[in-house]
């Protein structure tokens, strides 16, 4: 086995036993990037020099007994998390040359535990999208099938892990942007409870929905990363003062006593038959592991897309108002007047999808329409949250598909944004309710495309997700398959 194929936990064991150094592992990942990156297109920025220096530091820390929990592990970071001295573009021309003067809290936590940051990954511009096709600096390929989407908006993060360019990555999830690409790329991805992980240094898309989380190849690795990035942060006003359990301890065999709910609204028309078969097979697996399977209802699911695409664009419209060319980022220098500079900067600096959402959000917040749109959407959001509260009175975990279909061809729905919006129908509700959710590989279609299983739990119940996901992963024992790169 090549070093770059090791999972985080496997690499840590080898380094603890002196069989592998951080420099060797980092070089192996960089060599892998050199070999496949032209096809994968997972990175916007690769910090070769910096990564090797970090790896050398990790090796000396380990020798002196000061190594952290992720000492020497090379990771990628979604390009909307601030990295001191390393460009943070958000996949947009607007921030093409922006280099932050500070690290996001989650990046700081990784570095303090000895992790090596390899670089920043491709993503939908300002995290607005489901395919990563709106990235201004390249579109990531699905490593399982060239010419197919890797998902979005954390598509580059998912592709970098799935293609063995690194064992783990940090992404962000506003409406499924960790879980959906994790599912399409056949890896594990977790969106923690809103407030569990600091958002300080995360470039905001929709502030009441955004959450940072890990993408890895195993549930154990997901738990290891959650152990490091979770916890209260006084720099983030939305961070919750909640005790952080040792997530790695939740990976126990057996699910006796666990009640798993199957929401009927997630199994309706439009669900691909192969996806449905894989999910029902996973339900049978959990039953055999001792879980009790219960039918539940989330009656307001049908309103999730409409609610999300009013709330998220409204918040985006407000958050993206700062990109006007006046203080930092792209500025149109050909404008003759101040007003023209504002107009032309935003017209040229933002891509089509970002402009579309700014227009939707600005309209929904405008005088005379706020009550009918944003306020009404916020009220229905409460009903969606109440659906989950009622469901979790009778079950511990919900199981469903992550997306209605496996990955699709690039460009297939480019001219039909509504079709792409509808692909998020099964993931949006977790963000609207603020609950944790994760995607765990469930199998492959006849075309060899991966399909993920979505697990959701009540607020701050990530341990139940990890335990359920671990049992599912171990029982399925999916065989290693050949990537299309």
Cis peptide before 153 (omega within 30 of 0): yes
Q: Which residue has the tokens 């996901």?
A: 469
- Cα torsion at 456, 462, 467, 471 (round to 10°)? 40
**CA–CA distance, 344 with 331 (Å, rounded to integer):** 8
CB 239 within 8 A of CB 201: no
Catalytic residues: 78, 153, 177
């Amino acid at each position: 086995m090549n070093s770059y194929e090791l999972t985080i936990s496997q690499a840590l064991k080898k380094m603890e036993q002196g069989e592998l150094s951080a420099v060797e592992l980092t070089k192996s990942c960089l060599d892998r990037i050199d070999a496949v990156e032209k096809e994968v297109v997972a990175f916007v920025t690769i910090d070769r020099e910096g990564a090797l220096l970090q790896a050398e530091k990790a090796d000396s820390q380990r020798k002196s007994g000061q190594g952290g929990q992720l000492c020497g592990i090379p990771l990628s970071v979604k390009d909307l998390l601030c990295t001191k001295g390393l460009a943070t573009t958000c996949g947009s021309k607007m921030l093409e040359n922006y280099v932050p003067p500070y690290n996001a809290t989650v990046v700081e936590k990784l570095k303090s535990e000895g992790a090596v940051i390899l670089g920043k990954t491709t993503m939908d511009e300002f995290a607005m999208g489901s395919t990563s096709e709106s990235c201004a600096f390249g579109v990531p390929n699905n490593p399982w099938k060239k010419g197919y989407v890797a998902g979005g908006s954390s598509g580059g993060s998912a592709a970098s892990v799935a293609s063995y360019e690194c064992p783990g990555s940090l992404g962000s999830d506003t409406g499924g942007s960790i879980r959906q690409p994790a599912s399409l790329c056949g890896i594990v991805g977790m969106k923690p409870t809103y407030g569990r992980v600091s958002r300080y240094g995360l470039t905001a898309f929709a502030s009441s929905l955004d959450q940072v989380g890990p993408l890895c190849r195993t549930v154990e690795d997901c738990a290891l990363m959650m152990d490091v990035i979770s916890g209260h942060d006084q720099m983030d006003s939305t961070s919750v003062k909640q005790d952080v359990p040792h997530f790695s301890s939740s990976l126990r065999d057996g699910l006796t006593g666990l009640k798993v709910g199957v929401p009927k609204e997630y199994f309706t028309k439009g669900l691909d038959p192969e996806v449905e078969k894989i999910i029902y097979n996973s339900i049978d697996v959990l039953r055999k592991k001792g879980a009790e399977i219960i039918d539940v209802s989330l009656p307001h699911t049908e309103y999730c897309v409409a609610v999300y695409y009013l709330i998220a664009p409204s918040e985006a419209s407000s958050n993206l108002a700062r990109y006007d060319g006046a203080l930092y980022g792209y500025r149109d220098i050909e404008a003759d007047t101040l007003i023209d500079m504002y107009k032309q900067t935003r017209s040229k600096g933002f891509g089509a999808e970002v402009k579309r959402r700014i227009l939707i959000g600005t309209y929904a917040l405008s005088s005379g329409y706020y009550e009918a749109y944003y306020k009404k959407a916020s009220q229905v959001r409460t009903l969606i949250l109440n659906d989950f509260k009622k469901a979790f009175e009778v079950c511990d975990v919900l199981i469903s598909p992550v997306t209605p279909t496996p990955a699709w061809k690039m460009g297939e729905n480019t001219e039909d944004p509504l079709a792409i919006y509808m692909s998020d129908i099964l993931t949006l509700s977790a963000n609207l309710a603020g609950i944790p959710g994760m995607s765990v590989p469930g199998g492959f279609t006849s075309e060899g495309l991966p399909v993920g299983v979505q697990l959701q739990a009540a607020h701050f119940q990530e341990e139940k997700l990890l335990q359920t996901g671990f049992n599912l992963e171990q029982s399925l024992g999916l065989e290693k398959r050949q990537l299309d790169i």
